[in-house]
Structure formats: C-alpha cells, structure tokens
Chains A and B, each alone.
Chain A
Amino acid sequence: MAIEVTMPQMGADMTEGTLVRWMKQVGDQVTRGDIIAEIETDKATVELEAFDSGVLRKHVVAEGETVPVGEVIAILGDASEAVPDVDRMPPAVTPARRVPEPVPTANGTEPPRQPAAAAVTPPANAGRLRISPVARRVAHEAGIDVTALVGSGPDGRILRRDVEAAAKGAASEPAAVAPAAAAPAPAVRRAAPAAAAATTEGLSKIRQATARRMTLSKQTQPHYYLTLDVDMTAAMEFRRALNASASEAQHVSVNDMVVKACALALQRHPKFNAEFSDQGLRLHEAINIDIGIALDEGLIAPALLDLAHKTLGTIAVESKDLVERAKHGRLRADEYSAGTFTITNLGAYGVESLIGIINPPQAAILGVGTVMAKPVVVGGEIAIRQVMKVALSADHRVSDGAEGARFIKEIQGLLENPVSLAL
C-alpha cells in the first residue's frame, strides 16, 4: 500500500519547508524512525523521520525545492507495487494564517510606512459646524436645522442647551398650545430668553449657508470699519459719455466702476486680497471680486474672475452675464468659491451707507451706498455734488486701520478721477 510522506509541520509558526537533502534514495528500505530527509524551515534545519516502514518508491519533491506544509514529498510502498502517479499534489492541510506576509513592493523594499503623525492643524476657517453629539441628536429629533443655530459652548460649539432653547422657541409658536407657564425652564446655566410669539419659517439652503458663514466670520474675524464719501460727479459724467456710445450689453453701471476701481486698488494693496491662516497670510495672485446679488431665495455673491487686466467694458459685459446666470442657477463652481474680495452694493435701494460683514476667509469687504446729490463744501463754497458713501470692513488680523485707510483712499481717488478706470 502506498504511503504518502508529507512536508511536516515542525513548529507552531512553520508554513513551508525546503527539502535540503534526501537521506533515503529511491529503492532504499525505510524503517519507522529512520531519518529520510533534512528539512529547512525559516528557523532551522530539522530531520524528518519516517513514521512508517516500506521501500522508498519516489521523491515527489527534489532537493532544494520549497513546498507548503502538508504537501506530498515522497511515496513509500512495497517493492513490487506500482507507484501512483503523484506529482506535486496540493497540500492536505492548509495551515491557517492569521497574519498576512509582508508584501514586497516592486523595487523589493519595504512598503512605505505612514509618516509619523505630524502636528495636526485644522484648516483655517474650515467652516465645519461645531456641534456636540447630543445636540445633533436632539435637533434631529425636534426637526431643528442646526446650521441656523449659534453655539454657546467652547469655541462656539452648539450644545444641547442651544438646541433646546431653539426648540422651545419653535414649540411655543401656536399660543394656544404653549401657555405661558407650560414647560419648566431647562436646568442649564445660560437659560434661553423667554420665548416670544413668532412663526418659524423653514430655511433655504442659501439662508443656512449665509447664517453659518456670517456667524463664522463674526466669531473668528475681528472686523474694523472705515467709511468715507466719494465725489462721484466726474464718474457719473464719464459713465454717461461711455454709455452714450455703447451698446446695451456694454452699458457700464456704477458698480462696474467700483469693481474696476477695487481691482486696480487691490493690485497696489495686496493685503486686502488675502486670507489669514495660522501659518501666515496667503496673498492671492488672482483678483476675483465677489459681487452681492439678491435673489428671491437669499443673497449670493459669485465672483468676477481674473480682474487684474480686464477693462471696464469687459467687466460691464461679464457682470451682466454673471447676474443673469445667477438668476437662472447656472454659475460655475469657481465663481462660487474663488472670490478673494467682495463688494456689496445696496445703492439700487437708495441705501445711503452699508457696512458689510467679511465673507470668510477673505480679508475685507467694501459696502457701497447709493449715489445722491448732496451739498458739499468745495473750495470754500457750498456746491451740489454726486456723493457715494463707501465703507471698508477689514480683518484686523490681516491689516491695520492705516493700511485700510490708504486702500480706501486709493479707491476714492480712482473713482474721483475716472479716466484712470479706462486704462
């Protein structure tokens, strides 16, 4: 009867062995306990003894070959019987491996390791909502939009008490359902103000985003403000002259002139075309100016791109196109996100002055009021001039007041000498 001799398991961690040397040759008589081969494991060379007696009929594995544990390496049998046609049979036992072998990379070296953990700096102004797990859960259960909440916890984290205060406000909406003394005040240290009668309106996505971004701005960017009057008399004359000979599409608006003036001024005052980070100021090469556009759903501020070398006429054409596409929701992604400075203008509503909140992570915003006729002292005499109030809101981490003053004076100068805008 043919007896298979297999590659032995010779240690708890052995998975394969190399047949170093056959100690018994084909035809040799083998007695139980005889050493028939030397086997090399990854730890040592060991002798393989026969567990049965018989004649060695075949070496299935040649000297020098490495085979897995359990694979047939030789056949013992009677001298007379036919040798079964065994040729490198698969192992009867597959050693279970708990740990995969290290996989060499193409060049034979160790695979790259993860670099040692460097200090993790959260991205500046990441805009991620900070909310505790329980606040998120309670808000979800109460159907409250957490993006509309202002957190009272450490670093502005929205806490359970903030959600509960908001929920209390919402729940008391129908007066009949919420009599004055219905619910006891939650036991938090900073109790919510007594709820007043109000209705709650769902928040649009734009509303939610505005709330989040404006909160972030006011909580992280220390603002300073500068305002001055710009005498727009010459600029209005210049505009009338330009538009008289231009097509409808090329008509220049007051805002276009402000955009052009800002684009020129930003080239000379790069700190206002920048953003703050813990590592330092990032000064942007491109000048992309967001312009506020009021839509029914809320305010958006897409960017006019690459203004450094664009003419007033080009700006006029592109700004109309931008407003048109914004109304139809066809803005491109970079127009949403690439802005480096913002102009917000409520002149069309007759608003005299407007002080904006910086659009994070930008460094400044210019608020523009309406152009109106006003008595102004010119050369010691009172004259009627076209006056526009502008207000600069700037991030004090990036610039100081005097720098802001020079920047806003630059804008004023450009607008009061409109020929410079034509360059």
Chain B
Amino acid sequence: MPEMRMRDALREALREEMLRDETVFLMGEDIGAYGGSYAVTKGLLEEFGEERVKDTPIAESGIVGVGIGAAMAGLRPMVELMTINFSFLALDQIVNSAAKLYHMSNGQINVPMVVRMASGGGSQLAATHSHSLEGLYAHFPGLKVVCPSSPADAKGLLKRAFRDDNTVIFIEHTANYGLKGDVPDDPDFLIEFGQANVLREGSDVTLVGYSGSVHQATRAAVMLQEQEGISAEVIDLRTLRPLDIDTVIRSVQKTNRAVIVEDDWKFGGFAGELSAQIMERAFDWLDAPVARVCGKDVPMPYNRNLEFAALPSEEDVVEAVLAMF
C-alpha cells in the first residue's frame, strides 16, 4: 500500500471515479488552472479537460444550484466550494433543494451530488474563515455528511460518495490535508457510510471525535495511558449522517464513560446531539455525565494564543476524563 498525504488520496479518489464513471465531473472555484486551493484537484484539468473539470465564477449558490440541476438530469457532479465558510452562501440550495427534492417529489427526483469543502480553525484565519459546520449540515434530513480523519478514509469515503444517490456533504479538515498514511490503491476500495472506526481500544473511557478532533482524542488517549494509567477507547465517527451510534453505545457500555471532542461550538452543536443519544440509549451504563470538549463560545480570534485557547486541545480532553474518576 503506497503512503500518501490526504490531499493526494482525495485526488486519487476523484481520478479513479472519473475514470470509472463518465457522468462524474468536477466544478468549483479555482479547481482547474489553479489546481485547487488545497491542491486536491491539481493535474486533473490536464488529464480530463475543461468539459469535466470546470472552473467556475465565485458564485457559491449558483454553482451548487447548477450541480443540483445536472444531478437531476443524471450526471454525478462534484462541486468544490473551496471552504466551508463560503457554503453559507449556498445554504439555501443545499438545504431547500438538494436535501428536499427527493421527498418533495415523492421519490421522483434525486440529487446525486458531492459537495466538497474544507473546514476547521487553527490556521489564524480569524472569525469568518475558521468554521466547523459538520454538525450544521448533519442537522438536515436528506443529506449525508462525511468527515474523514485520515488519507485512507478520505479516499474510501470519497469514492463511496460518488456511488451514493443523494447529496453528500464531504468536509475535509484543513489540518488533515498534509497527513500521511497508507492508502489502498485498489480501485474498488470503498468505505461504507455509517460505520464508525474504533481507532484504539480501551476499557475505562470512550473518546468520540471525527475529522480533526479525532487527533486530539488520540493524543489524549496516549497521555491518559502513560500518565494516569487510564485506558481510553477512541472512536472516529467518519460520517455524521448516517451516524453509527451503535458503535458508540457498545463502547460506552464497556467503559461507562464518554467524552465527545469537537472543534465546533459547544452550544447547540453536534456533540450535544451525540451526548443526548448516549443518554437516551445508555443512561443505565453511565458512571459519569457525558462530557463535551468543544470549541469555546466565541467568534474565532486571530491571535495565535487566543485561537489556541478557543479550540479544544488534548489537555482539555485529559482534564475532562480525569474529572470522571
């Protein structure tokens, strides 16, 4: 298995899917001549041509709408919105059209489209460019929400996204693009949606994360083992819709404790949803209240130290775990 960075794994997925299925095409802001803001689509214009790799105007709502129309007519578009921060401008198309057409039309029209976007803070991009909105998109029935944490997952999940008959919101954490890992080169390598990944087995506490926060959780698990002798299980959700709550519940039944780690704001965030589901399904298995380690409730400040304080760290996770013993 070749080792590659996540951006390269994503490119491999796009390439393989375009070769496999001629209805797949890409459009987005600066994905062609520029090669993509995060270099994911680099070289694809040269390989597949302008017809299938379309540079678009900066018009998020318009291009997502065009993607929906193309999908309605039987194509499988991938629309890249550069970053999740710009997706607010396309929110109506995503929520009111892409997520609802299948239901409103009584099953006559579906929208097989992949919308890719980069998310997350930590790069000193300040308040408007540091969002983590995975939970926001997971709120809407009719969408699938995918958020990989590793190069292999990124490839397997993105390839799987092109085989889905619904709109898939595919969210990549900017801190993960440079991550290296072994990635299968089998063109049939797919990772099913709704299958959480137990990254590390443990017996004393369950740490749940996705995308970027998986890495804080994993580092915290190592610290807990080495410094406190606490054995933490780490679960990567991989997809928020569909959500593999069963794997989380099974783990909590074993460990009796759960800490959810999420970059997004705590108030009204996905961690709250997860916490409630654990309470609903595993109340009688809990030894402590479910804890949430999330982004602080402020617009993201620019200053490095302030930004660091606003984001959840592995130390925060360790502290939350120790408070349970």
Contacts and interface: CB of A to CB of B under 8 A. Distances in A.
Contacts of B230: 189
A136 B285 CA distance: 9
Contact of B285 (A134, A154, A189): A134
A189 B204 contact: yes
B302 interface: no
B229 A189 contact: yes
B287 A153 contact: yes
A137 B231 contact: no
B264 to A, nearest CB: 25
Interface in B221-240: 229-231
Is chain B's interface secondary structure helix, strand, loop, or mixed overall?
Answer: loop
Contacts of A136: 284
Interface of A: 132-137, 153-154, 157, 159-160, 187-189
A133 B231 contact: no
* 9 tightest Cβ-Cβ pairs between the two chains A and B: A132-B287, A137-B284, A133-B286, A134-B285, A134-B256, A133-B284, A159-B287, A133-B283, A187-B203
A189 B287 CA distance: 14
Given A137-B284, A157-B288, 15 more contacts: A132-B256, A132-B288, A133-B284, A133-B285, A133-B286, A133-B287, A134-B284, A134-B285, A134-B287, A135-B287, A136-B284, A153-B324, A154-B325, A159-B287, A189-B230
B231 A187 contact: yes
Interface string B248-260: 0000000010000
B323 interface: yes
Contacts of B323: 154
Interface string B273-315: 0000000000111111000000000000000000000000000
29 contacts: A132-B256, A132-B286, A132-B287, A132-B288, A133-B283, A133-B284, A133-B287, A134-B284, A134-B286, A134-B287, A135-B287, A137-B284, A137-B285, A153-B324, A153-B325, A154-B288, A154-B323, A154-B324, A154-B325, A157-B288, A159-B287, A159-B288, A187-B203, A187-B204, A187-B231, A189-B204, A189-B229, A189-B230, A189-B325
A135 B324 CA distance: 14
Contacts of B288: 132, 153-154, 157, 159
A160 B203 CA distance: 13
Contacts of B286: 132-134
A134 B252 CA distance: 10
Contacts of A154: 288, 323-325
Nearest to A132: B287
Contacts of A189: 204, 229-230, 325
Contacts of B203: 187
Interface string B190-234: 000000000000011000000000000000000000000111000
A153 B229 CA distance: 16
A73 to B, nearest CB: 36
Contacts of B324: 153-154
Nearest to A154: B323
B196 to A, nearest CB: 22
Nearest to B228: A189
